Amino acid sequence: MSSNTKQQTSFLTKRWGLLAPVCVLAAGCLWGIIGLFSNTLRSMGLNPIQITELRSMVAAAGLLIIILCKDRSQLRIHLRDVWMFLGTGIASIAFFNICYFLCITLSTLSIACTLLYTGPCFVMVLSCIFFHEKFTAKKAAALVLAVGGCAFITGLVSGAAGGVSISWQALLSGLGAGLGYGLYSIFGRVALKKYSELTVTFYTFLVTSLSLLPFCHIGEIVAIASGSGYAGLHSLLLGLISTLSPFLLYTTGLSHMETGKAAVLTFAEPVMATIISITVFGEIFTINHAIGMIAIVTSIVLLNITFKPRQKS
């Protein structure tokens, strides 16, 4: 390798060493502002299923345009592999989005986003069951922290100060969002062995939008969107800014950094969601909620820390 090539490689490495974390942080922030658009659509009369349908349709259309411009061969899949996309599209994306938007409706944006981040704990448990991964002391500690965090958020455990508890419906919908969020890693892990990230994500959102079509009362969505350009604008912003853009940013950043570090950096999402929840929507955020959020965030950080054995001198 020539000296010029080495210098170029070194420059690119240093550049991505800075840009990759920025991309992941930006993705987390864009995911975190989803409430700005979903709450507006909800106030216009759209329910969680309809909001999920809009988000999926816009994201699928955007990804289709990217694939057609970049590499049309990425649209090819085998019929026998459709079950993978039924898993990522219905069991994961459709289920987690409906639960997530329902939890926002029943509680607050910050609480819903924090409960969503129990997803990695579900992945850990499911990986032990389906992929026979070891259940270690570190994983057990992370699970205890996540469960404890949920207990504080719901008000089941009193923290440093009494706070507003959430209903069991909100808790179950929030945990359902976390489960669905985690299932994407399970089905996606299998699908990504055969297909690219763009292919998997496109068919995931396509399957999601098609599966929800019979239940979303599309005529009602069209009536609301056509009756107010504001609704149409927020639908596009939801699909492009808080769905498609963060996916592309996260994927770009992830390709140039370690998965564990990227996972930790996405905690910009619940932080941003909390800021939006308090400043824009005036939602109540108590010390109990802060303790619960810190516990859940700590559990995921713990899952992504690698303890290297001490070398003998």
Would 48 be classed as within a structural domain? Answer: yes
pLDDT 10s digits, 279-307: 888 888 788 888 888 888 888 788 777 66
Q: According to the model, what pLDDT value does residue 160 have? A: 41
pTM score, two decimals? 0.81
Tell me, yes or no, whether 2 lies in a domain. Answer: no
> How does pLDDT run along the chain (313 residues), one tens digit per residue?
555 555 555 555 667 777 888 888 898 899 989 988 998 899 999 999 999 999 999 999 999 999 999 999 999 999 999 999 999 999 999 999 999 999 999 988 888 888 888 887 888 888 888 878 888 888 888 888 888 888 887 776 654 444 556 888 999 999 999 999 888 888 888 888 899 889 999 999 999 999 999 999 999 988 887 777 788 889 899 999 999 999 888 878 877 776 666 666 777 788 888 888 888 888 887 888 888 888 888 887 887 776 655 555 4
Please list, in sequence order, all residues whose beta carbon lies within 8 angstroms of the beta carbon of residue 246, skipping any fewer than 6 positions away.
Answer: 26, 27, 28, 30, 31
The verdict on residue 169 lying in a domain is yes
Q: Is residue 98 part of a domain?
A: yes
Q: Is residue 312 part of a domain?
A: no
Report yes or no on 1 lying in a domain: no
Mean pLDDT of the chain: 84
Is residue 275 a part of any domain in this protein? yes
In a domain, 154, yes or no: yes
Q: What is the domain extent for residue 251?
A: 20-303
pLDDT in tens, 50-83: 999 999 999 999 999 999 999 999 999 999 999 9
pLDDT given at position 164: 54
Q: How many domains would you assign to the chain?
A: 1
Instruction: Tally the C-alpha atoms within 13 A of residue 125's C-alpha that lie toward its C-beta.
Output: 14
